[in-house]
Amino acid sequence: MSTVLITGGGSGTGADMARAFAERGHDVVITGRDRAKLDRIAGGRIRAVAGDVSDPDQVARVFAEAGPCQIVIANAGIAEAAPFGKVTMDHWNRIIAVNLTGVFLTFQQGLAQMGPGGRLIAICSIAGLRGAAYAAPYAASKHGVMGLVRSLAQEVAKKDITVNAICPGYLDTEMTQRSIDNVMAKTGRDRAAAIAGIAGRNPQGKLIPPSDVTAAALWLALEGSGAMNGQAITIDGGEGP
């Protein structure tokens, strides 16, 4: 079995993927900035290496400690909402540093030590395929991830390495719960109404379980997915373009 490296592996979708890959016999390395969160997930086949994906030196160190990884999943990400006119440079730079530069650094280090049959997977967002009001920096960062995925896929196509993105809608994770808290604070809605407002964007009327994203990542790691390259797998309940 291959070694899998997952950024943002201390919670949410990253933690769910780590457990699933470990259950299938892979050795898994999870990384993130919060060592305490990582340690709660680590154990058995899952090993924690703390690091900040927006820092080139830290990303290089994480890969050096992890050793050769044939499956690299760039999952770390952050989200903040604000009207476009109130977006500050700090807000913009913070989103781009984690969501886009973090994927670039993760993929660059991952590819440098990856052999034939390798898999690079970005956990992107439906916001990388369409606009998102009050989230221009976030949507811009995710559109950038899609450009990176599609371009790199063409570079490595003849090396038996694939690069793909998984683009979910609102997931039932800590990140979405923070969005729900933000809606409550800004609109005065109660939690049930705030959840309904966000979940209602999914035609199925619900938040998406992280396990749906995990299932797609597991499939992309299989030998039978070798011709899947440069693609965006949309997991949004049928919301459409």
CATH number at residue 161: 3.40.50.720
Could you please report the per-residue DSSP string of 140-152?
HHHHHHHHHHHHH
Q: What residue has token string 């034939």? A: 116
Q: Is the domain of 128 the same as that of 26?
A: yes
- Cβ atoms of 217 and 183 within 8 Å: the answer is no
Give the 3-state secondary structure percentages of the chain, helix then strand then coil, rounded to 5.
Answer: 50, 15, 35
Residues 190 and 159 reside in one and the same domain: no
Residue 36 lies in a domain: yes
In angstroms, the CA 33 to CA 52 distance is 5
Is the residue at 240 inside a domain? no
64 part of a folded domain: yes
> What pLDDT was estimated at residue 238?
84
Range of the domain at 187: 171-207
pLDDT one-digit tens code per residue, 67-120: 999 999 999 999 998 999 999 999 999 999 999 999 999 999 999 999 999 999
Do both 9 and 108 map to the same domain? Answer: yes
What interhelical angle do 102-112 and 136-156 show, nearest 10?
20
Task: With respect to residue 163, please indicate whether it lies within any of the assigned structural domains.
Answer: yes
Counting the structural domains of the chain, the total is 2
- Are 157 and 175 found together in one domain? no
Question: Is residue 32 located within the same domain as residue 19?
Answer: yes
Question: Does 57 share its domain with 163?
Answer: yes
Please indicate, yes or no, whether residues 92 and 178 belong to a single structural domain of this protein: no
**Whether 29 and 125 share a structural domain:** yes
Q: What is the pLDDT of residues 173-210, one digit of tens each?
A: 777 767 667 667 767 777 776 666 666 677 877 888 99
Name the residue with tokens 């760039």: 74
Q: Are residues 149 and 193 in the same domain?
A: no
Is there a single domain that holds both residue 185 and residue 125?
Answer: no
Does 241 map to a domain? no
- Tokens representing 90 are 């700090």
pTM: 0.93
Predicted local confidence at residue 84, as pLDDT: 97
**In a shared domain, residues 102 and 216:** yes
Residues 138 and 202 in one domain: no
Q: Does the active-site annotation cover 138?
A: yes
Establish if 148 belongs to a structural domain.
yes
Of 138, 139, 167, 170, the active-site residue reads 138
